[in-house]
Amino acid sequence: MLKRVLGRRDEENKVKKEGRLPPGQSLTTRFPVLHYGPTPGFDPATWTFQVHGEVEEEVTWTWQEFQKLPRTKLKMDIHCVTRWSKFDTEWEGVHIKTLIDHGLIKPKDTAKFVIQHCEYGFTTNTPLDWVTGPNFLLATHFDGEPLTPDHGYPLRAVVGAIPNRRDLAEPYFWKGGKWLRSLEFVQEDQLGFWEKAGYHNEANVWKEQRFSYQY
Ligand SMILES: Nc1nc2c(c(=O)[nH]1)N[C@H]1C(S)=C(S)[C@@H](COP(=O)(O)O)O[C@H]1N2
Ligand SMILES: [Mo]
């Protein structure tokens, strides 16, 4: 495998040459765990996933029902605001665009933003456009395996960069909530947990929008 032969620094130079290493980032071959608070448990008998707010019909899916939704695989680069980037990460799960195309989620015209609600009240916010993009996934699997508890099992959102798709919003990785329990479609933006703590609401990795203020 090329990956095994190249050292970390060689891999970094390679993605840098390809224009995939955003400013101030460095390549990691590990998968760091980052979140505030404890890792929640999961009970498939009581877990639900809800879609609510500015939608024609609110829906609630059980874990069993969630398994039956149309699934997609997605490969992308992820960039954490704490300066690590991980390239060609492979995810599997559910695309919101697919759910909308199948009429399983029907946003109202008034829906402009989406709030991700996670266990223990964690939230993060994005424009509706971002969550319907090809680089945003409701992920159940990473690298062919179910997510580990620390990385968001059973369900998390992921958002990142698809090489050669610089037309898409490319925010830092915190815009993907782990232990996701609902999506709320809203008219007005509402700052989430890290956004309220001073992280930049746009969070664009190429513009290095890490914080909402300058030191
Ligand atoms: N529920 C929840 N999701 C979260 C966070 C959090 O604190 N709580 N932190 C975010 C941040 S800052 C990052 S960088 C990624 C990290 O995901 P990872 O631990 O799988 O690397 O999760 C994001 N999702
Ligand atoms: Mo982060």
Residues with Cβ within 8 Å of residue 204, at least 6 apart in sequence: 169, 170, 171
For residue 33, the 8-state DSSP code is -
Around ligand 1, the residues with Cβ closer than 6 Å are: 32-36, 80, 118, 122, 151, 173-174, 176-179, 194
> In sequence order, what E strands does 19-162 have?
26-27, 48-53, 59-62, 72-79, 84-94, 113-118, 123-127, 136-142, 145-146, 156-159
Check whether the bond before 32 is cis (ω within 30° of 0): no
Query: 175-188: per-residue pLDDT in tens?
Result: 999 999 999 999 99
85: pLDDT strictly greater than 90: yes
pLDDT band at 2 (very low <50, low <70, confident <90, very high): low
Return the higher-pLDDT residue of 5 and 136.
136
DSSP conformational letter for 3: H
Quote the pLDDT of residue 213: 77
Say yes or no to pLDDT of 129 above 60.
Answer: yes
Mark the residues whose beta carbon lies below 5 A from ion ligand 2: 34, 80-81, 174
Nearest ligand 1 atom to the CA of 119 is 1
Q: The whole model's pTM is what?
A: 0.96
pLDDT value at position 1? 53
What distance in Å separates the CA atoms of residue 141 and residue 144, rounded to the nearest whole number?
A: 6
Choose between 97 and 3: higher pLDDT. Answer: 97
- Quick check: 76 pLDDT over 60? yes
Q: Give all domains of the chain, ordered by start, each with its CATH number.
A: 2-32+44-196 (3.90.420.10)
From atom 4 of ligand 1, which residue's Cα is the shortest distance away? 177
